[in-house]
Amino acid sequence: MFDEIMEKFSDSPSQQRVIRLLLERGFSVNDEGRVVSGGIEIPNTGIAREVGVDRRVVDTTTDAILADDELRPIFQNISAIPSLMDLAPVLDLTVLTVTVNDADQPGIAATVTGIIADNDVSIRQMISEDPEFTDTPQLHIITDETLPGDLITEIQEFPFVRRIELA
């Protein structure tokens, strides 16, 4: 899906940068062509500054989204979810990030969360990045407690795991 969306803007790398930002942040486009997060409008100048384009590129991109029957429902219904990942150090939480070899393989999240639950560790939040919307999707698991070393080793030994990071 991500590739199909980006293909629609293949003639404009600047518009692709705007699209990538909208998808990564979960920003939507309202009927007036304004970028919003929930009901809060995000100024086009701020979006343009963030991705290094002119404000008019944001206008052109949102106009193209609204004019496209496939893109309009996607960008009018996308939303952001709050993440505990950046708050983890402040709240004394542990973040386990798992990068896998093939994100399309079924059962990755179930296997990892299952082994964590089997070790009586409570999961506060899990975020599984969509392989359609990111180049290197990762599984992020936030827990209240430090994960035991043997549990981390066990997860690292799963054949689908490429890399593990702890924060």
Please state the length of the chain.
167
The pTM (predicted TM-score) of the whole model is: 0.76
Helices 13-25 and 44-51: angle between axes, nearest 10 degrees: 110
d(CA 130, CA 35): 22
d(CA 99, CA 97): 7
Tokens 């999240």 sit on residue:
109
Tokens 């909208």 sit on residue:
22
DSSP string, 36-66: EETTEEPPHHHHHHHHT--HHHHHHHHHHHH
Q: Where are the domains of the chain?
A: 2-77, 88-166
β-sheet bridge partners, residue 37: 40
SS (H, E, C) 86-144: CCHHHHCCEEEEEEECCCCCCCHHHHHHHHHHHCCCCEEEEEECCCCCCCCCEEEEEEC
User: What is the reported pLDDT for 150?
Assistant: 95
Tell me the per-residue pLDDT of 26-56, one tens digit each, with 9 for 90 and over: 999 999 999 999 989 999 999 999 999 999 9
Tell me the per-residue pLDDT of 94-137, one tens digit each, with 9 for 90 and over: 999 999 988 888 999 999 999 999 999 999 999 998 877 777 88
Spelled out in words, what is the top-level CATH class assigned to the domain 88-166?
Answer: alpha beta
The whole-chain average pLDDT of the chain stands at: 94
The H or E element that residue 164 is part of is strand 161-166
